[in-house]
Structure formats: C-alpha cells, structure tokens
Amino acid sequence: MVDLKYPLATDNTHNIVLANEATPRQDYYCIGCGSVMRRRKGKKRAHFFHKSDESNCSSESALHIGFKKLLYNRIDESLTGSKELIIHWNCDICGELHQRNVLNKTKRVEIEKSFGPCRPDISLLDENDKLIIAIEIIVTHEPEESTLNYYIENKVALIRFKLTDVSDFDILQNEVLKPTSVDVCLSPKCNRCGDHAIKSYLYIIQGECWRCESKMNISSIVDNFERIYTPDEYSKEQIAL
C-alpha cells in the first residue's frame, strides 16, 4: 500500500526538494499539479501538503514523478562526471547476489523516450542510441505485457524500482543502488542446455547408519533455491568427491 503523503515538491527554481530538507512556512510547488504546497513536520517524517483543497492530483503520481526525476539526475550526473553507478540485486534466476555498473556501456540517458510499443521511465542508450537498459518506476502498475515482450525481443535489460512509501526515496541516497528486481543473470551459462548455472553446495557430515548405528559419512546437495538433490541426481564428480 502506497503511503499517500507527498515526500517532495519543487522550489521557485524548479529544483526538487525533499520534505525533510524544506523550510517551514515557505511556498513550494506540487510536482504533479504545480499548485502551492507547504511542509508539514509529521509524526514520523516530514511531508508536503497542498495549501488549497481544490487540488485533485494523486500523491502516487507525485511519488512516481519525483523518484524518476531524482534517479535521472543521479544517472545524468554520474555520466557527466564519468563515474560508475553500481547496483546490487538478488538474482531471481540463479539466486546469487549480483553487482554491475549500469553505466558500463551507457552513453546517454533519457526520460520517457518512446520506442514503439513502450516508453520506459528512464532509458539508458549506447553509443548508437540503442536502448540497452530500461528502468521502470512502479507504484501501482507493472509494465504492460507488450512492453515486457519488447524488452525480451530486443535484449533490453529491465530494472524495476517498486515504491511502497516515502521511505523508498532513501534508496537514492545510498552509494550502491538496490533495485527491487533486475531481469539479468550474470552467472555463466551451461554449455549443454544454455541455461544459467545454479550454484549448489555439497555438505558432508558424520552420522550413523539407520540399521547398525555405525559411524558413516552422509552427504547432501542443496542449491541456492534450497532444493535438495537425491543421490541419483549426483554428478560423477560429486560422487567421486
């Protein structure tokens, strides 16, 4: 459930201002509808509110727009300064923790650039202006199926940041960004089936025979997804070990 408080607004020079950095009793402007806002201290954390009750803009929309602009600014500043932008994510494919510099091949960044059936929130483009990474900011709606198909067909990496409340803006203050999900696996692929390798662990402990109770070694193989392998699934190398 999205927190319906406004975490940010813009000042007179159109710069984004977070509520906890805003000056009390000073006018700011809604990033969604442009109407005047003021800072409110709040019980847990500061937030903005509309001075007029006539505004009908959505705080979910403001959450989406604000996070997108702040993330774009950070990416643009990193590109301009020739700096790395590192992300960490837990891979849904192999279960490993991956790390990657998303600006490794990026030469330009765009907001809401159209690519036929899709318009990523933030697009990272290579030297040939080809879309290589799409960043989607998700508040309530996931990308359409046609959008996901476009990314798959064109080998575009998809990074998702799913927002649930104003505290998610703290992500952007971290040196290493941690998106909600990344549909890229950096683990090596199997030469036979082409699937990404899943790391497994072989455990050997000392136990007792269930029949005669004599001491014996007992082995167990478990992968990243906690799947336990039976002895008939052991490889020749694992059996030899």
Containing structural domain, residue 137: 58-196
Question: Any residues with CB less than 8 A from the CB of 224 and at least 6 apart, and which?
Answer: 94, 95, 96, 198, 199, 200
- Judged by DSSP in three states, 71 sits in helix
Both 155 and 176 in a single domain?
yes
The pTM of the full predicted model, rounded to 2 decimals, is: 0.73
Both 122 and 70 in a single domain?
yes
Q: What is the residue-wise DSSP string for 194-228?
A: -PBP--EEEEEEEEE-TTT--EEEEEEEEETT-PE
- Whether 149 shows a pLDDT value over 50: the answer reads yes
Both 89 and 134 in a single domain?
yes
Both 74 and 160 in a single domain?
yes
Domains: count for the chain: 3
Both 113 and 128 in a single domain?
yes
Using one digit for the tens of pLDDT, what is the confidence trace for 127-138? Answer: 999 999 999 999
Both 129 and 41 in a single domain?
no
Using one digit for the tens of pLDDT, what is the confidence trace for 185-212? Answer: 887 776 666 666 677 788 888 888 888 9
Q: What is the residue-wise DSSP string for 74-109?
A: HHHHHHHTT---EEEEE-TTT--EEEEETTSS--EE
What does residue 55 show for φ and ψ, rounded to 5 degrees? -70, 135
Question: With contact defined as beta carbons under 8 Å apart, do 87 and 180 qualify?
Answer: no
